Structure 1
């Protein structure tokens, strides 16, 4: 598959947009039915990377997983619902990276990043948030799939270095499936999505380093990440050699079978502020600051490591450094990046 560039953005609920949490409960098919605040948000730093930053040959190992599979496949990011109404989710187990982001009402939503392999189906697909548009530039020009965004966020999607594969732009790749009501029944075919973005870029260095575990670390059986209205726990399974997820005390099963979770889980503490977007109920969309520096806890191999994260700009990846100043190595395989507020859980 290929490696090029081209911009876009699309249509989803709130980013700085307000997540229409109330609208979801009312069965609104798209979270994009929310309204924005009176002032536009500051556009994310979505300028295309310099030519020298783009990869022209496939890396020896995949920079997202540390494996050798799919090193030249294009990158596809998909927004996926992460509330109880949506569980179990489909296709998350196949992702290379799973971001967990706070949205309106203190709930969370996933952004699953695919490259090394693709599932047959992914979903429930939901709307984009402004924080997505700050995370995505590090991937060059990936394909970005989401159900929609409110009208006042569309210009920010259009300015972002992504291929817009929203339901509005790539409707033929989406379909309704299963017994759940809208908006929890929208799914997409990843291969059909990528056919609509033939120039989506392949993987590049986003700062992850894979290899043997560094010395030290604290033996850890489980860790719980908390947001104002929900929590996710990750429990080490020596048998499966990965961290198994649970959601609000319930095992986080996958629709395909098994339990969600990754070989490495990064708990990244990032300042969560109020964006200028909000839903029609007045709930402001959180904006997560993922540039700069901060603290992170990296879980791998049944141990936890206190680290520092650093991301100098939005078109650069995030590096993780141990207390002695050395790169923090991840276990090869799926990586979860769990973004929590740097401080007490809060609704901004």
Structure 2
């Protein structure tokens, strides 16, 4: 079979016919390519949907929601400062910046404060005093680091054995204010922002909630309580009056304008044992025993009191509060905890 060969003139005519057709096809293909790229760039289905807003964050020592966009995880632990609570401590510094305060019975029928700082650090705190074994169960639930003047040898052995970290006099931030009129052992103060640098951690983490936080609406009805006197036995009674939406400590030693504004006053009746040694004045040192125990609790909030009970499984466990109706949640806010003897005088409530 013979192949037909096209003449040069016929080949030129065929080229003239096909050229416009091929050009049009290429133009359409080019337009189609641009259109596909534009559609792909303009409408990535997943990325154009609204992003999920971050979950709200809450401060662990108050239950209060942090401002939007603010992280509550810090690269330092909770700091607890042991502060004297006698007339020799006047004026106490830094209490107005505390998230929470725990008042503890010590020797001589006096009390001492464990002031918890996390969301805010004051410039100066004090007067700083020594630790007690009672502090182990108080600070362990949030793995706090304690800022202290020091402690007895027996106490240091137990504190260290329990894994509680502490920073004591002589470290960065401590100083003495000898202009104070009280005896020299009440002159120790601390620049907490400086001492906090010694407690920095490698990674930021949020401590566990110290209490089970809730809302005012979740609080049982309770009974009216606009005044309460909390006796520790002996010579000291802490007095509270509900005014301006807060409980005000009317016999506080805090510097004016630097007082702790308590949204809640939580009274824990606890067994008081003997720590096993004497202080320099010959007084038996009491120990507040909390681990594996239960007792009566009274929660004051909003001008009323709710009666219930507390329990604490171990030193590192939080306080669990309840009433006959079930779990008792503490309204979010600043809380002052009174650890009073379970066999002590009754509270005066009005």
Match of 2:212 in 1: 208
CA distance in 2, matches of 1:316, 1:308: 16
SS in structure 1 of the partner of residue 282 of structure 2 = coil
Q: Which residue of 2 aligns with 1:219?
A: 224
Tell me, which stretches of 5 or more residues in structure 2 are unaligned?
1-54
What residue is the counterpart of 1:315 in the other structure?
Answer: 316
Q: Is the 8 A contact 1:163 1:197 kept in 2?
A: no
The aligned counterpart of 1:17 is none
Q: 8 Å contact 2:63–2:209 — kept in the other structure?
A: no
2:30 maps to: none
CA–CA separation in structure 2 for the residues paired with 1:344 and 1:253: 23
Q: Which of 96, 101, 108 is the matching residue for 1:98?
A: 101
Contact 2:95/2:259 (<8 A) preserved: no
* Ranges in structure 1 where 5+ consecutive residues have no aligned partner: 1-57
1:234 to 240, 243, 258: 240
Once residues 165 and 343 of structure 2 are traced to their aligned partners in structure 1, the CA distance between those partners, rounded to angstroms, is: 34
Aligned to 2:129: 126
Q: Deviations over 1:265-307 (max 9, x none)?
A: 0011001111212113321111111232111100000000001
Residues 1:61 and 2:67 aligned together: no
Q: Tell me how far apart the structure 1 counterparts of residues 123 and 65 of structure 2 sit (CA, whole Å).
A: 21
Alpha-carbon distance between aligned partners in 2 of 1:207 and 1:165, rounded to the nearest angstrom: 25
Deviations 1:80-127 (A, max 9, x none): 000011122111121111000000011100001111111111100001
Residues in 2 aligned to 1:265 and 1:130: alpha-carbon distance in whole angstroms:
23
Q: Name 1:110's counterpart in structure 2.
A: 113
Q: 8 Å contact 1:64–1:208 — kept in the other structure?
A: no
CA contact (8 A) 1:71 1:203 kept: no
TM-score (norm 2): 0.75
Name the CA shift for 1:266/1:225 in 2 (closer, same or farther; >3 Å).
same
State the shift of 1:173 in Å: 1.0
- Measure the CA separation in 2 of the matches of 1:205 and 1:179: 37
Higher normalized helix content (fraction of residues): 2
Q: CA RMSD in A?
A: 2.1
Aligned CA distance change for structure 1 residues 197 and 268 (closer, same or farther; 3 Å) = same
With over 3 angstroms needed to count, the CA separation of the structure-2 counterparts of 1:275 and 1:152, relative to structure 1, is: closer
* Displacement of 1:234: 1.1
CA-CA distance at 1:258 after TM superposition: 5.5
1:19 aligned partner: none
Alpha-carbon distance, 1:253 to partner: 5.4
Give the drift of 1:311: 0.9
Question: Does structure 1 residue 257 correspond to structure 2 residue 257?
Answer: yes
Residue 216 of structure 2 aligns to a residue whose secondary structure is: coil
In 2, Cα distance between equivalents of 1:261 and 1:308: 24
Instruction: Provide the residue aligned with 1:151 in structure 2.
Output: 153
Map Cα deviations across residues 127-173 of structure 1 (whole Å, 9 max, x no partner). Answer: 11110022222112x221000112333222322323221114x2x21
Highest RCO, 1 vs 2 (Cα 8 Å, sep ≥ 6): 1
Mapped partners of 1:152, 1:330: distance in 2: 35
Distance 1:246 1:163 in 2: 33
CA contact (8 A) 2:108 2:283 kept: yes
CA distance in 1, matches of 2:96, 2:258: 9
Change (3 A) 1:93 1:81: same
What is the number of residues matched between the two proteins?
279
TM-superposition CA deviations, 1:162-206 (whole Å, max 9, x none): 3221114x2x21011242341112111112111111129642123
The DSSP-based 3-state class of the residue aligned with 1:281 is coil
Where has structure 1 moved over 6 Å in runs of 4 or more? none
Provide the residue aligned with 1:305 in structure 2: 306
